[in-house]
Structure 1
Amino acid sequence: MSQFIPEVTLHDGITLPVIGFGTYNLKGAEGVRAIQSAIKCGYRLIDSAYNYENEGTLGEAVRRSDISREELRITSKLPGRYHTYDTAVKAIQESLYRAQLDYYDLYLIHWPNPQQDQYVEAWQALIDAQKWGLIRSIGVSNFLPDHIERLEQETGVKPSLNQIELHPFFNQEKQRVWHQEQGIQTESWSPLARVIDIIDNPILQKIAGQHDKTVSQVILRWHYQLGTIPIPKSASPSRQLENISIFNFALNEEEMRLIASLTQEDGRLNGQDPAVYEEK
């Protein structure tokens, strides 16, 4: 069963669906089946990363799919240990070899690794890989505004997208507003917060009951109305379909305000602050 999903256009002209599919920990034959199922449900934006060690799984699912490669938007990410220019170029090539793809639609620097302080080098590698046709659109993940400003100042190229931790317990309002002002698309990782108590939250349960929807659907609809692109993950076909079925209802202003009230000053799930966190 396929779902119709609206699209947004990035500042470089590339279009992305307003909801994608996360693949963290989806590996092997089971992972291939899960991604195949997601594509069958209607997902066209599929998110992976070098450090997920499942680019091969993703590529196999794409090849087994009935959907043409051109209809899909495939993402991967550069790991922190490959931020020097030469190693970044090789890692991008390796990502493509692993997936057996000719290009990625979107490739991101996974973390800025500020102590290492080589993310500008890595960014230049992405810029060149885009010129060579290996990547259609280049962006970042977990970058703070000052990191992004430095990228543009030193290379003249602004990321098309920033994928950040974003969920009702950590709604990142200031960063979202800054992205919007800069013409950078916000994408949300861990959009459902990956914690049991969010499903049991009374505010979210009440809103879900009023719309005859699940809490997950309410949260994902909230992301959509914020203008962010959530990338929920599930290996269950029924849950995949549930997560993507969010376009036949809308949250009102009061419901959006109530969900906004759930945010915490530092609601990061694992304390991964991009100002200090270093990815390997």
Structure 2
Amino acid sequence: MKIPTVTLNSGHEMPVVGYGTYPLQGRPATEAILAAIASGYRLLDTAASYGNEDAVGAAVRESGLDRADLFITTKLRGADQGRGSTRAALEASLERLGLDHVDLYLIHWPLPAVGRYVDSYAEMAELHREGLIRSLGVSNFLPEHIDAVVAATGIVPAVDQLQVSPSHARAELVGAVQGKGTVVQAWSPLERNTGVLEDPGIVAVADRLGVTPAQVVLRWLLQRQVTVVPHSSNPSRQRANADLFGFELSAADLAVVDSVAQVPVKQDPATWEEF
């Protein structure tokens, strides 16, 4: 299965569907990632705080694929934000991954009360110029956080990874970020264990199209120009979650997903602290 790509503002191509590795660790993580790669995934999403960069690196090595065929994302944890510590954090991530560069490096959370995300992004720009990072990005950044890093560096983030899903559609935020030339990538797009995949409207659309409710949700995001990094350790669900390009949702289908009741995100980037 070949997954389409989107061209980032950095000029690099990124698959529109990636494999989210949280919360797996150790050998089970490596085995699940290898299964995902066998299903066609080429984007692997990890983070320093996930504690599984070593497992991702093992899968990269064992996959037999050329490094250029894989797109590896990792993230800067809150405790490592700031001048000097950002470089050290990336170097440590690269060592755990066994790589000489990452394709996308994200600041995991802005932590505005800490006030070091702009310094971190400026140091990331230096690391980008040195070739250790192919594309600069952010995660859980609101428009004002993006404006601050652009004002300091002149570099618009290539990606902003946000919590976007049927119960957290966040249409205004998604539109504002996309309007800056930044690709939105949805984390936790399937809202596991919230019941959204049992929503009667979504189930009805899935049954009519002969796909799974998860496929309907992921296709809804893609048709909003939102890229996705779903997670599953089940190989059949992994395949289904990437098999999103043989069907299309109609305007009425999109409206069904749009109609899911909205609830506020629990981790508000304006106040959330995670180190």
Pairwise same-fold verdict (TM > 0.5): yes
The residue number in structure 2 matching 1:170 is: 168
Alpha-carbon distance, 1:195 to partner: 2.2
1:113 paired with 2:111, answer yes
Answer whether contact 1:111 1:279 (CA < 8 A) is retained. Answer: yes
The residue number in structure 1 matching 2:56 is: 58
- Number of residue pairs matched by the alignment: 275
What are the equivalent positions in structure 2 for 1:15-164 lying under 5 Å apart? 15-164=13-162
The 2-side partners of 1:189 and 1:239 are apart by 17
The 1-side partners of 2:153 and 2:21 are apart by 31
Which of 268, 276, 279 aligns to 2:274? It is: 279
3-state DSSP of counterpart to 1:187: strand
Answer whether contact 2:122 2:152 (CA < 8 A) is retained. Answer: no
The 1-side partners of 2:99 and 2:272 are apart by 31
Answer whether contact 1:77 1:109 (CA < 8 A) is retained. Answer: yes
TM score, norm. by length of structure 2: 0.98
Unpaired runs of 5+ residues, structure 2, are none
3-state DSSP of counterpart to 2:179: helix
**Letter matched to residue 86 of structure 1:** G
**Letter matched to residue 203 of structure 1:** G
State the Cα deviation string for residues 210-251 of structure 1 (Å, max 9, x = none).
Answer: 101110111111111111111011111111111111111100
3-state DSSP of counterpart to 2:90: helix
The 2-side partners of 1:28 and 1:265 are apart by 34
Alpha-carbon distance, 1:66 to partner: 2.3
Alpha-carbon distance, 1:37 to partner: 0.6
1:233 paired with 2:231, answer yes
The residue number in structure 1 matching 2:248 is: 250
Answer whether contact 1:110 1:140 (CA < 8 A) is retained. Answer: yes
3-state DSSP of counterpart to 1:85: coil
The residue number in structure 2 matching 1:184 is: 182
Alpha-carbon distance, 1:168 to partner: 0.5
Answer whether contact 2:156 2:181 (CA < 8 A) is retained. Answer: no
The 1-side partners of 2:77 and 2:261 are apart by 29
Answer whether contact 2:184 2:226 (CA < 8 A) is retained. Answer: yes
Answer whether contact 1:171 1:263 (CA < 8 A) is retained. Answer: no
Alpha-carbon distance, 1:180 to partner: 2.2
The 1-side partners of 2:157 and 2:149 are apart by 8
The residue number in structure 1 matching 2:202 is: 204
3-state DSSP of counterpart to 2:195: helix
State the Cα deviation string for residues 175-229 of structure 1 (Å, max 9, x = none).
Answer: 1111221110000000001224112110110110110111011111111111111
3-state DSSP of counterpart to 1:279: coil
The 2-side partners of 1:32 and 1:82 are apart by 25
Aligned-CA RMSD value: 0.9
State the Cα deviation string for residues 38-88 of structure 1 (Å, max 9, x = none).
Answer: 001000111000000100000000000022110110000000011111111
3-state DSSP of counterpart to 2:136: strand
**Letter matched to residue 157 of structure 1:** I
The 2-side partners of 1:79 and 1:199 are apart by 31
Unpaired runs of 5+ residues, structure 1, are none
TM score, norm. by length of structure 1: 0.96
State the Cα deviation string for residues 257-280 of structure 1 (Å, max 9, x = none).
Answer: 1211214151x2xx1000000111
Runs of 4+ in 1 over 6 A off after TM superposition: none
**Letter matched to residue 128 of structure 1:** E
**Letter matched to residue 278 of structure 1:** E
The 2-side partners of 1:53 and 1:28 are apart by 9
3-state DSSP of counterpart to 1:102: coil
